[in-house]
Amino acid sequence: MVVAESSLKVSLLNQSMGDLAALADMKATKEDICNAFHIPIAFLTSQTNLANLQASQSQHMSLAIGPRLQRRDEKLNAQLVPYFDPTGRLFLASEDPVPLSQDLLIQQQTADLKYGVVSINEVRGERGLPPVPWGDVPWLPLQWERTDFPRPCEAPHLGRNRNPA
């Protein structure tokens, strides 16, 4: 700090090594703070790409936010809920904060439709669409056949494998 009786112009010709060390300490301090609060460094730096940022977000949700929500729910269930429900049937639970991958959900839904796990109307109902008259039965590939399906008419055995009359 410089105190003078008249106005003057001060220009810094060279930074001291102590100033550079303080700047290095600030970086270490930022890392220490991020580690203390389980915040990925990618949130606080501009030198990251979208893939790293998304991976950091998922990691932050699973390793920091999820355990905090679980700990909060446990405390509320142990200390607050008994005032309102002494029977123990009432409890608080938070949803999993880790976001689901949209690509994985689309692949799962496609496989469920393809292999007859769900019907078309069930998928339409999840999306808020009205049912269609032909969508109540799951659709299966044409080469598949139910094993318990009764065959109304079988072809007669001809040739060498026919049943003798």
- The per-residue pLDDT for range 32-43, each reduced to its tens digit, is 878 888 888 888
Give 42's DSSP letter.
G
In the prediction, which pLDDT does 148 show?
56
In the prediction, which pLDDT does 130 show?
93
Give 94's DSSP letter.
P
Q: Is the pLDDT of residue 159 over 60?
A: no
Backbone angles phi, psi at 9, to 5 degrees: -105, 125
Tell me how far apart the alpha carbons of residues 124 and 106 are, in angstroms, rounded to a whole number: 14
pLDDT digits (tens, 9 = 90+) for 69-106: 999 999 999 999 999 888 888 999 999 888 777 888 88
Q: Is the pLDDT of residue 163 over 70?
A: no
Which one is predicted more confidently, 149 or 112?
Answer: 112
Q: Is the pLDDT of residue 149 over 60?
A: no
Mean pLDDT of the chain: 80
Tell me how far apart the alpha carbons of residues 15 and 24 are, in angstroms, rounded to a whole number: 14
